[in-house]
Amino acid sequence: MAHHIQIDTRKQIIGIIISILFIIGGTILLVNPLVLGEHPFKDEAMFAISLTIVIIFLALLIFLIYKVVNKTIGLIINDEGIKEQISALNVGMVRWEEISGFGVKKQIGIPFIVIYLKNKEEFIERFSGLKKSTIKKNAESFGTPVAVSTVMLKMKKDELIQLFKEEGAKRGIEFEG
């Protein structure tokens, strides 16, 4: 049986609003760095900080709008494996035979379901360029290259964990913790 778990559009829209506010704030600082009064930064540093804010939140805005407009399914769990489509990484299908276990880890207070792999190096080698280096960083942070955010889905964290436990148990894959 296939499970299609939608991305929570309400949370995406909140993210869009926050992104727009940061873009506006960053742009104001770009145009007039003294709008907030005196600051301890040199003009070049303030320019770089402001530009970085605008670029990061513009990229986030585009990503969130894309996900909302396309009504992307956030997570697919089927007989083939697990396909996470919440993050910008989009690692594709992780086949059941590649998975050695599951767990929960927090990053900056946000819970993620981590998918442990039998051979994470082989999995990482599928990718190239910026995506590969980002997936390597994920592997360093989580102990595995695949982590599913429990925040942006329409399913509650506990229900999602239960689903992973049930689907894993059918295939002899354990959920730690």
Query: What are 119-149's pLDDT values in tens digits?
Result: 999 999 999 988 899 899 989 999 999 999 8
Q: Report if residue 153 sits inside a domain.
A: yes
The residue type of 132 is K
Residue 156 in 3-state DSSP? coil
At 42 the pLDDT is: 79
Tokens of 28: 């104001």
Q: Report if residue 107 sits inside a domain.
A: yes
* pLDDT above 90: percentage of residues in the chain: 57
Q: Report if residue 176 sits inside a domain.
A: no
Residue 108 in 3-state DSSP? coil
Please state, rounded to an integer, the average pLDDT across all residues of the chain. 90
Residues 101 and 165 in one domain: yes
Residues 102 and 146 in one domain: yes
31-50 mean pLDDT: 80
Residues 86 and 166 in one domain: yes
Instruction: Report how many domains make up the chain.
Output: 2
- For the chain, list the strands marked E by DSSP: 3-6, 73-77, 81-84, 92-95, 99-107, 110-117, 146-149
Give 72 or 142, the one with higher predicted confidence. 142
Q: Which domain covers residue 99, as residue numbers? A: 77-170
CB 146 within 8 A of CB 115: yes
Q: Report if residue 177 sits inside a domain.
A: no
Residues 155 and 100 in one domain: yes
Q: Report if residue 15 sits inside a domain.
A: yes
Sheet of strand 73-77: strand arrangement: 3-6, 73-77, 81-84, 92-95
In tens, the pLDDT along 80-115 reads: 999 998 887 788 899 999 999 999 999 888 899 999
Domain stop point among 37, 69, 101: 69
pTM over 0.75: yes
CB 33 within 8 A of CB 50: yes
At 169 the pLDDT is: 92
33-47 mean pLDDT: 77
Q: Report if residue 11 sits inside a domain.
A: yes
Residue 107 in 3-state DSSP? strand
Domain stop point among 69, 85, 115: 69
At residue 177 the predicted structure's pLDDT band, cuts being 50, 70 and 90, is low
